[in-house]
Each structure stands twice: as structure tokens, then as C-alpha cells.
Amino acid sequence: MAEQRVNVHIPSHPAVLDSVQLRNIQLPLPVAPDPWHRDGKPQPCTASLKLSYSSAIAAAAADDVSLSLDYGKLYRRLEEDIRNMGKHSLSPTQRMISADGSRRDEMMRTEIGQDVRLTAGIVANCGLGLLDETAAGIRRMSHVHGHPGSRRGSASAEIQAPLAGLSLASPPIDSVFGQCEVWLQLPKALLRAEEGLKYRSVTVWGYRQGDENTALDAERCPVVLEEEFRIDGIRCHCILGVNSHERVEKQAVIISLEFKGPGQLAWGSTVVDTYQEMTRRVAEQVEETAFQTVEALATFVARIVTVQFANERVTVRVEKPSALSFVERSGIEITRSQAFFERSDLEGGRV
């Protein structure tokens, strides 16, 4: 159940939006239950993040690292926060809200290491926090902008000269707008999925009173705009196809599931609570089927995910590696909702 909603204003994207990125950070730690359903067990986790802000123009104009976001500091801060996660009384999810101002109570009760969203929240908060710190430091060093040439070497003066005027016309980094996109991959989180579990979130600064120009830090909070879960590489073997030779022997079928929507809403908690058992059930039930079309099989899988496990919506991809000799995989992708199957059942047809 979500808490009472608050009014949240999200600033529009600035005219110039730049970013720093860290790709494929290795995090050997407990971020979700392991494939044997054990909590608190370390497992491989690869994290990437993209921190977007306004902007890098002043840093480029002055060729001054003190005017930029330091990705080395970002990594060190992230490493420290991840290492100490669970040791602080204030969880990142206690501040995170959805775009409509609600917060998931069940996430606040979840232990670190049981919900992949908590780890992503730590990563996002780390990025947005560094943006704040950097902007504050630049404000304290504003005198640097008055001397754009003070740090230049003579060898690069010719290259830097065209940029010199920009530092006066362009404001330095500010923290009014901040966005952190996080990707996590747990390659060994699922026994029946070769590529494991993947998660993505987009978190931005939001303002409770609707005015980012006057809002205090206490009135600002991280807002999770989007979330996405992917389960790729569920390898099954079943009878599938209309050709006579395809009815003789089971062939490999690769199934992928995708769930996405607005962040911090109930649908995400349903995915987190069901994905391990759901993946196992999909694999076991598919191997007992003998459909003629991939469309029928994909719909069968979507029904399991939405009806049996109460997920609101799923995108199912079904691929056959052996169908075409010179094609690595061929298949289809469909999106179905729980409501779709409910309507179908009420109308007397079962798909």
C-alpha cells in the first residue's frame, strides 16, 4: 500500500543536457535473492549509470576540471555507498517517490539484498548527491569564471581560444535538474534464464512545492520516473511448428519477458515478489506444450505471467534458434495485459 500522495513538480529538461557515465561496474554483493532463493548471499551484479545535468559547457570553455563532474569521485562514492549499504538507518527508498507523489511502504520494509530496486536506489542517490556537491563547490569557486585563461598552458591556447567566451555566457553546473539512469544485471539470479535478471530505472529531482527556484533541499526528493525488469534467455525444449519434421522432436525455444512502466508503483513490487517462481513455472509449463505457432506459445506464456502471477502487463518474446538455417534466431514479440485475458474469458473465448 502506498503512503498519502504529495504534489511534486519535476523541472523540464534544460536547453543543454550533458552526462557522465560509468559502464559495467562489478558489484559482488547481495542485491536480490540468489538462484536458490537464499537472501543475503553475494552474487555477480553489473551496474551502469548515466548522470545527466546542465551542463559541461563552462568546464569545456575554461578547460578546468574543477568545473566538471568528476567520474572518478563518482565511482569512489558509489563504491563506498554500496559497501556500506544496510549500515545506515536511512534507506534511499525512504525518500524516493513516484511521479504522482506516492511511496511504496513494502519497499521500506524490505531488507537490503532482497530487492534489486534498493540497490538501484543507492546508485541513483549517489549520482544525484554528487551532482549537488559539485554544484555547491562550483558556486564557492565562482571566481574561477572571471579568469578563464588562468589555468591554460601556452601549447593549447590556440585550441582553447574559441571556447573562452563561452564561460562568461554559460552558467556552470547547477543542481536544479538532475537525472540518473541506472542499469543492473544479475546474470546468475535465475536458474532457468541464461541472461538472468536485468533492471533499469530513471530517477530525477522533484520538488514538493512546485518551484525549483525557491525550493529548499528539505522540499526536494528523488522521483523514480520509469522502471523496467527483463528476464532474458529462458531456454525451453518443446514441440513447436506446423511442419511435419517439427512435430517429431522437441526443439529449443528462447523466451524473454519484459515488464516496464512508471516507477515506485505496485506493479514493480509484484514483479519482484514473483519473478523467481514465475520463471520456473514458465519454463516447466512450456516444455509440456505442442503448439503449431509461436503466437499461440507467446500468448500461453503471457497468460501464465499475468493471470497466474497477477502481473499487470508483460511483453513476451519467443524465438526459435533452429527454425531457419542461416538465421541465428527467428520469432515474435507480443504485449498482453491481465485485463486482456479477463475480457477474453468473460466473452467466452480463451486465448
Residues 253-263: tens digit of each pLDDT: 999 999 999 99
Asked if the structure places residue 7 within a domain, the reply is no
- Cβ-contact 349, 327 below 8 angstroms: no
Residues 185-228: tens digit of each pLDDT: 999 999 999 999 999 999 999 998 645 555 555 588 899 999 99
Backbone phi and psi for residue 302, each to the nearest 5 degrees, phi listed first: -60, -35
User: Rounded to the nearest 10 degrees, what angle do helices 294-303 and 266-286 cross at?
Assistant: 130
Please report where in the chains the cell 568545473 appears, as a residue.
Answer: 67
Supply the pLDDT for residue 281.
Answer: 98
Supply the pLDDT for residue 250.
Answer: 96
Asked if the structure places residue 34 within a domain, the reply is yes
Most confident of 93-97, 120-124, 309-313: 309-313
User: pLDDT-derived band of residue 319, with 50, 70 and 90 as boundaries?
Assistant: very high
For residue 166, give its domain range: 18-346
Asked if the structure places residue 114 within a domain, the reply is yes
Beta bridge partners of 24: none
Asked if the structure places residue 11 within a domain, the reply is no
Mean pLDDT of 54-75: 90
Question: Based on the structure, what is the number of domains in the chain?
Answer: 1
C-alpha cell at 213: 527556484
Mean pLDDT of 259-286: 96
Asked if the structure places residue 146 within a domain, the reply is yes
| pLDDT value at 238 more than 80 | yes
Residue 281, domain CATH: 3.30.1130.10
Report the mean per-residue pLDDT for the chain: 85
Could you tell me what percent of the chain has a pLDDT over 70? 80
Asked if the structure places residue 110 within a domain, the reply is yes
Supply the pLDDT for residue 3.
Answer: 53
Asked if the structure places residue 12 within a domain, the reply is no
Residues 2-45: tens digit of each pLDDT: 455 678 899 999 999 999 999 999 987 666 678 877 777 788 89
Residues 75-101: tens digit of each pLDDT: 999 988 888 876 655 566 667 888 888
C-alpha cell at 3: 503512503
Asked if the structure places residue 260 within a domain, the reply is yes
